[in-house]
């Protein structure tokens, strides 16, 4: 945990920002600070102090503790428009040059920013030579299931040279991210931050915006997926181990460790942040990695955690936080350091129980620099690191630390319970794959499950791993992990909550249930099966991504009130690539009756089918990163033919 691991000898970058990150400004002094909300007529970021006397923010008098964000979403009447071009770029985020997939020539990709209740419209142009699709992580997609961005499930891929318009409501507020859901494209750079302004239960002076943490791979995602699906287990694990870690898309790398033939420049440049002495700074942490749990800390500073995923929580103070893949956390940091000093910000890849590990032990940590008011720009920090857990396990913090501000009690008797057993082994072709209840997921890009369900089909292929919740009111998932690896399990779709009119309007306790921002009812080792005890039963943890540890279980519960087909999968790119995925058909009768589904699928499927009829599709994914492993020889031959 010391800077000498990277042998930092200068803060003067050897590469330009354009060489490392394209047109992105994240990690530089030009990075945008965020206000409390956006103007209704422009994208200007405003602060509460700018409101005239008697004026209200876009969400009015709603606060984090007096409003149910699942039912009280305002309708602002505002649409925020974004235009994304998905293309290739040759960049060197840590000094090692790589062919990357980026949006608008930015790595990380552009910030999407909106107010709670706004509509977001993103026009996506595919300039790749393969399909693509973008997913807006954690949003409910109520009434817009075709905008969830999962090829083979909610749409066909966007064909090369084609475009598609995603339109959805910012129905929750807080910090999230968007990313490609076609194969493991996002591990090559196709991701960016998504910030939705809403009520805040904390006081802050400066919002520094997204702090995107990630592990990083120097190889192309396709070659990694091929190796993690190998017939030789000695190839599987090393392929999944990252080469490095990044903060806002930047870090340095020891070029003596670079692969032969790589183009590598040391001291590529670190991300930089700027603190004002005595002020409270909001940092919006996002784990946009492909594999690892990341331990985040700032030398000699304490953090106050105020939200996880899209859920405001009762705050607590800590010196180190951990985030699994796809998890988010808002923290407040008071600038208590010396005005003339600099401090290290650190993101450490977990290497303990449940973790994949790292390829190079000395490249397991990303560094960034925090400057104060009078810090010399060349001053290399000599700050003291925080103490990490001795074994840095790939696990979540205890459920006791994540109590939501707004109380909601889950139903004690769900209508349906699904037991989902996670396993690992060889398939019929000898390739190593993950499975759920003995079935490894396979998708058909040209036949989205949402469209099949809309047509009234019930004969879904076994390897679609599709479970029908029917029209039941609640569903409980008992997830049992029979493997030594941890899995950050993510559920797409809603967090919709039904109002219970027996509860006084001003009460902050709802006796109804959360939707797909699931309740985490319990967790524990498989050696002691769940006995029905619920952690904090009147107000359990709510979030959209929860880690199930090695040889452990988690118990989750949702409201089944969002018509659609919703993926539930491990968010480790290489695990879902290898089949660790199921999907839930919810409110079947309403899906069948929804006349918009055919029209929306018609915007991508005919063009995809036309393009794929004349091109080899190396299907490394369902938009959820799944290799079609029915015939590996066909896949390999297709790659060789180009």
Report whether pLDDT(260) > 80: yes
Q: Looking at the domain assignment, is residue 495 inside a domain?
A: yes
> What pLDDT score does 628 carry?
40
In tens, the pLDDT along 564-580 reads 999 999 999 999 999 99
Q: How far apart are CA 364 and CA 244, in angstroms?
A: 6
Q: Looking at the domain assignment, is residue 598 inside a domain?
A: yes
The larger pLDDT score, comparing residue 281 to residue 4, is at: 281
> What pLDDT score does 334 carry?
98
Q: How far apart are CA 348 and CA 366, in angstroms?
A: 6
- Give one DSSP letter per residue of 7-23, joined into a string: T---SS-SS-HHHHHBT
- Least confident range of 468-477, 547-556, 588-597: 468-477
Report whether pLDDT(615) > 80: yes
Q: Looking at the domain assignment, is residue 466 inside a domain?
A: yes
- Spell out a b/e string for 227-266, using b for 16 or more CB atoms within 10 Å of the CB, else e: bbbbeeeeebbebbbbbbbbbbbbbbbbbebbeeebebbb
Report the DSSP pairing between strands 509-510 and 407-408.
parallel
- Give one DSSP letter per residue of 516-577, joined into a string: SS-EEEEEEETTS---S--SSTTS-EE-SEEEE-TTEEEEEEEE--S-EEEEEEE-SHHHHH
In tens, the pLDDT along 576-601 reads 999 999 999 999 999 999 999 999 99
Q: Looking at the domain assignment, is residue 411 inside a domain?
A: yes
> What pLDDT score does 202 carry?
86
Q: What share of the chain is helix, strand, coil (3-state, %, to 5)?
A: 15, 35, 55
Q: Looking at the domain assignment, is residue 453 inside a domain?
A: yes
DSSP code of 3?
A: G
- Assigned token pair, 559: 């409201």
- What CATH number does the domain containing 521 carry? 2.60.40.420
Q: Looking at the domain assignment, is residue 176 inside a domain?
A: no
pLDDT average, residue stretch 419-438: 94
> Average pLDDT over the chain, rounded to whole?
90
In tens, the pLDDT along 171-190 reads 999 999 999 999 999 999 99
In tens, the pLDDT along 79-120 reads 999 999 999 999 999 999 999 999 999 999 999 999 999 999
Q: How many structural domains is the chain composed of?
A: 1
In tens, the pLDDT along 345-365 reads 999 999 999 999 999 999 999
Q: Looking at the domain assignment, is residue 173 inside a domain?
A: no
**Do 374 and 340 meet the contact criterion of CB atoms below 8 Å apart?**
yes
Q: Looking at the domain assignment, is residue 491 inside a domain?
A: yes
Residue 56 — very low, low, confident or very high, per pLDDT cuts 50/70/90? confident
Report whether pLDDT(631) > 90: no
> What pLDDT score does 584 carry?
96
pLDDT average, residue stretch 432-447: 94
> What pLDDT score does 621 carry?
42
First to last CA, the chain: 44
Could you tell me the residue range of the domain that residue 533 belongs to?
A: 407-613
pLDDT average, residue stretch 363-382: 96
Q: How far is CA 408 from CA 65, 123, 311, in A?
A: 11, 36, 12
Report whether pLDDT(512) > 50: no
Q: How far is CA 427 from CA 227, 237, 270, in A?
A: 15, 17, 43
Secondary structure (3-state) at 161: coil
pLDDT average, residue stretch 599-610: 97
pLDDT average, residue stretch 122-130: 98
Q: Is the pTM here over 0.85, yes or no?
A: yes
Q: If you search the block for the tokens 């030594």, which residue do you land on?
A: 484
- Assigned token pair, 162: 């084609």
């Amino acid at each position: 945990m010391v800077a000498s691991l990277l042998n930092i000898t200068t803060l003067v970058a050897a590469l330009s920002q354009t060489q490392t990150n394209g047109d992105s400004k994240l990690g530089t002094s030009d990075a945008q600070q965020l206000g409390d909300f956006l103007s209704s007529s422009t994208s200007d970021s405003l602060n509460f102090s700018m409101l005239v006397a008697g004026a209200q923010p876009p969400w009015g008098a709603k606060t984090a503790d007096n409003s149910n964000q699942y039912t009280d979403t305002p309708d602002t009447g505002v649409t925020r428009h974004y235009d994304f071009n998905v293309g290739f770029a040759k960049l060197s985020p840590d000094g090692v040059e790589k062919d990357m997939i980026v949006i608008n020539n930015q790595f990380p990709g552009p910030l999407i920013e909106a107010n709670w209740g706004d509509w977001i419209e993103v026009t996506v142009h595919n300039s790749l030579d393969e399909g693509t699709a973008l997913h807006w992580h954690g949003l409910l997609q109520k009434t817009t299931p075709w905008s969830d961005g999962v090829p083979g499930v909610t749409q066909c891929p966007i064909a090369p040279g084609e475009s598609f318009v995603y339109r959805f409501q910012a129905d929750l507020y807080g910090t999230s991210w968007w990313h490609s859901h076609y194969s493991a494209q996002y591990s090559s750079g196709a991701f960016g931050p998504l910030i939705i302004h809403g009520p805040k239960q904390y006081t802050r002076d400066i919002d520094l915006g997204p702090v995107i943490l990630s592990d990083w791979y120097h190889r192309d995602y396709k070659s990694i997926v091929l190796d993690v699906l190998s017939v030789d287990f000695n190839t599987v694990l090393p392929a999944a181990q990252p080469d490095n870690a990044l903060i806002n898309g930047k870090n340095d790398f020891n070029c003596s460790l670079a692969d032969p033939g790589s183009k590598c420049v040391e001291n590529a440049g670190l991300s930089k942040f700027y603190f004002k002495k005595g002020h409270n700074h909001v940092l919006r942490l996002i784990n946009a990695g492909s594999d690892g749990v990341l331990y985040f800390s700032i030398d000699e500073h304490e953090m106050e955690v105020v939200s996880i995923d899209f859920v405001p929580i009762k705050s607590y103070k800590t010196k180190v936080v951990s985030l699994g893949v796809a998890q988010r956390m808002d923290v407040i940091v008071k600038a208590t350091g010396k005005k003339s000093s600099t401090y290290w910000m650190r993101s450490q890849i977990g290497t303990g129980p449940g973790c994949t590990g790292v390829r190079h032990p000395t490249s397991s940590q990303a560094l960034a620099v925090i400057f104060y008011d009078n810090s010399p720009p060349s001053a290399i920090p000599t700050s003291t690191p925080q103490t990490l857990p001795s074994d840095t396990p790939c696990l979540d913090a205890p459920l006791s630390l994540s109590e939501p501000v707004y109380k909601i009690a889950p139903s004690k008797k769900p209508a349906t319970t699904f037991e989902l057993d996670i396993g690992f082994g060889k398939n019929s072709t000898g390739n190593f794959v993950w499975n759920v209840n003995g079935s490894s997921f396979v998708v058909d890009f040209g036949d989205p499950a949402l469209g099949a369900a809309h047509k009234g089909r019930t004969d879904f292929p076994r390897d679609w791993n599709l479970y029908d919740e029917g029209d039941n009111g609640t569903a409980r998932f008992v997830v049992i992990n029979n493997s030594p690896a941890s899995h950050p399990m993510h559920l797409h779709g809603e967090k919709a909550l039904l109002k219970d009119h027996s509860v006084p309007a001003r009460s902050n306790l709802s006796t109804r249930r959360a939707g797909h921002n699931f309740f985490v009812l319990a967790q524990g080792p498989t050696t002691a099966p769940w006995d029905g005890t619920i952690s904090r039963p009147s107000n359990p943890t709510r979030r959209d991504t929860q880690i199930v540890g090695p040889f452990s279980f988690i118990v989750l519960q949702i409201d089944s009130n969002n018509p659609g087909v919703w993926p539930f999968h491990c968010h480790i790119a290489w695990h879902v690539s290898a089949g660790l995925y199921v999907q839930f058909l919810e409110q079947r009768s309403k899906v069948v009756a929804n006349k918009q589904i055919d029209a929306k699928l018609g915007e991508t499927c005919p063009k995809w089918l036309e393009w794929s009829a004349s091109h080899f599709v190396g299907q490394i994914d369902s938009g959820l990163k799944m290799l079609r492993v029915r015939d590996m020889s066909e896949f390999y031959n297709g790659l060789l033919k180009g």
